[in-house]
Structure 1
Amino acid sequence: MKFTDQNPLSYFLNELFSRYRKAVPAVDTITNALIEHQVVGSQQEIVNDHVAFRTLGLPYLGIGSFEKIFLRHGYKKMEQYHFEEKKLNAWWYAPPAPVYPRVFLSELLVGELSSNAQEIINGYTSHIQKDPVDELDLNSGEQIAEYLHRPLWDLPTKKDYETLLGESEYAAWVIYNRYYLNHYTISVHTLKPGFSKLEQFNAFVEGLGIKLNDAGGKIKTSGDGLLRQSATVANMVKAVFAGGEQKEIAGSYVEFAERSIIPGTERYRDGFETSNADKIFESTYTSQIK
């Protein structure tokens, strides 16, 4: 994923991806192998199905804040998804032009957590008394890129992180990683034969020594059978917590999506599927990493 023009949307998406790929070794491992096998000529030829972000559903934060960035640049808000067990809401956003990826935004329903978990999260975020996105010049790709990598709250302590991890692994991921890019997604159906089906692509990726998320099976399939998704397990990163304590924790990962043409049309299946996404979330979960 790389855009050659320098409009604000292209600029901040390029910046996001540049930092993300440096932090997620699987991105370049897969890309380089695809180039070596002459499936693509460069990273730029890989079609990015969607990018995803995780947020905290709190006043001045969450989807209501984050979506302003994408709506300002022509994205259209589409369907909502709810994940009762994980206490999450999500929406997806259609891009202003086919060259751009879909966007999937999720938020933790903080008010549904235990009082202890809420107290921890509010302890880090209660100083945010106005929407930080409202202070940005949304016509500036540079300002947006800087914002998406700016810590909005202090580093958590290791104790607070581990307490949240025991109740909501999503909460723990966000409290440390903040609003960092959670994953990008390779559109496998756009690749050449031999790599364009998930069974083939997954075998290719596993042959590179990369572990796949097997929650609900390595391939998560929508009810209509037209959207199939897989993902790597998040890479481990050395986290340095407040006070200097360290621990290896889940970082980001890579997803793969295979969309099929809707019968009787010439259009590929669009949108997402709650049951698929529910299991994709677990790419950062301890059960998958270990």
Structure 2
Amino acid sequence: MLQLNVKNETSRLRAVILGIATSNGPTPEVHEAYDPKSLEHIKAGTYPVEEDMLKEMDALAKVFDKYNVKVYRPEVIENYNQIFSRDIGFVIDDIFIKANILPDRERELDAIQYVIDQMDPNKVVRPPEEVHIEGGDVMPWNDHIFIGTYKGSDYKDFITARTNMEGVNYIKELFPNKIVKEFDLVKSRIEPRDNALHLDCCFQPVGTNMGVIYKSGFREEADYLYLVDLFGKENLFHIEREEMYNMTSNFFSIDTNVVVIEKNFTRLKNWLLERDFTVEEVPYAEIAKQEGLLRCSTLPLFRD
């Protein structure tokens, strides 16, 4: 039986599902883009190629190997993007929640079914259809669960709005003893610099009491201030618009003092090093062109 345990974003990682870039398929057509950043690169002819993405994911897999993390990979679906495993499910405490993702990504869940089959079936849940929720929007933080959402009345018009208030309420019912706090995120279909696709595009905790945050990713200042109050302003690293566009807040923690970041994030690296973190750097700039980075391509199953 595969044991599940995830209570926060930073405790020592023991098991994870890492996405896969094998047989990733051709560059999408303009009308097939799920987000404005992919669209930008499709139009510019700079959309990432499979060979480069394989190298990047391999570099991350090597870091996991170094720290003796058990890594599961999805089964390969021919000509299909399976990089972003975070979208398709997530673990809170000892429960695996299958995400209701964009309908044409359903096959990605099938590709990790062999992992789900090893779990206690009583600990695997699937929300009802009206509940939209993706793992990139969900962050367990001890007694809190942070959830990114979009509260605009035009929710259904945004392919970049991935988690609705039904999703927030579903998690509240599932975890009645936790403080579930939703954050209303800024969305754009056309400008990736103004689109917080998921909560981890504008905020993520690090260590035991710190975080990386992009203030303008929140539609309501009160939501931003909630995190400032909780973590303390001196414990938050504030990123700029271009850093948010490059996905600086989308790093990944292997332990409370070990963080994997994209190798170009110099400012973040220096901030972490000054606070005695061990920083593991990997190249991930090609994958980032699809508006996803290290946290997006990992699905933690067990943390100590």
Asked if these proteins are the same fold (TM beyond 0.5), I'd say no
Q: Which has the larger radius of gyration?
A: 1
TM-score, with structure 1 as normaliser = 0.29
Higher relative contact order (CA 8 A, sep 6+): 2
Higher relative helix content:
1
